[in-house]
Structure 1
Amino acid sequence: MQTQSPPPEKRGIPTIFVLVPLVIVALALFLLALSWLIPRMGFKSIESREDISEKPLPKRKASRVNLYIQSNVGGADVYVNGEKQATGTRSSDLKASIFGLRPGTYEIQLKKEDYQDATRTVKLTGDKAVETIIIELEPLENNP
């Protein structure tokens, strides 16, 4: 009986020598595609720098303004454009607040029994979120 010899082993290139170059080529193609795609997405390269330190920031205007009203007489009613909005504190002087006014021109009026009505026109520009005004009330002539 004749013994058969085992088939000869095939010796090829080790797998690592095939995979590593394939991974390197795939990575290079990926980076090449990214370098083409990124500028088209609106990103600027590092070389195109812009100095923004000299540009002033635009002033932001308030969309609503809080108006604080002070007067020499407490407890006066506060009217804005003819509509009663608040009654001031009952202390010896008036402190009233009107919140959330849009920028614009307003007629502010204070009324209190035994005092002359006082009116002041105020222009709220929105440059400041809080405005303070002072309106003095004068006693009526028959009020001692």
Structure 2
Amino acid sequence: MSILEFKSISKIFGGGKPSAEEKKALYNEALLMTLARATSADTDIQSVEIEAARKIIKEQTGEDISAANIRVAAKSSIFESQPLEKYLAGVASKLDTDDRVRIVDSLTKVLKSDVRVTQFEADFFDMVAKAMNVTPSQTAGLLLHD
């Protein structure tokens, strides 16, 4: 099953606690969904942003997603039924803190990849961090360990 289908994310709204395998699939799909949407956050899609997203997705999931599929995922019909923020909030409740922070950290790398960050991109970042329930201290790398 390809992470491009977003099947795990669609399933989480049915409730229940995901298995370890389902959590991994959720993480992979949330990462793709977030980074793909980030490439078009300011409507000025830069190839360097797409390549940064591809590289991060490959490193973290093992999936080699083409630039064309990143563009398709950014405009996925899944967002016609609910906004990205709603999906991410649902996913956040199922993922560990470390996974949520990794998604937000990966988002930072994509947004900074073209050197300039627009207000639209900053707003997108804030929305994702809030939806993923990631605090400012966590985004700064100040992870507390028990």
TM, length-normalised to structure 2: 0.19
Computing the radius of gyration over CA atoms, which structure comes out larger, 1 or 2? 1
Greater fraction strand: 1
Greater fraction helix: 2
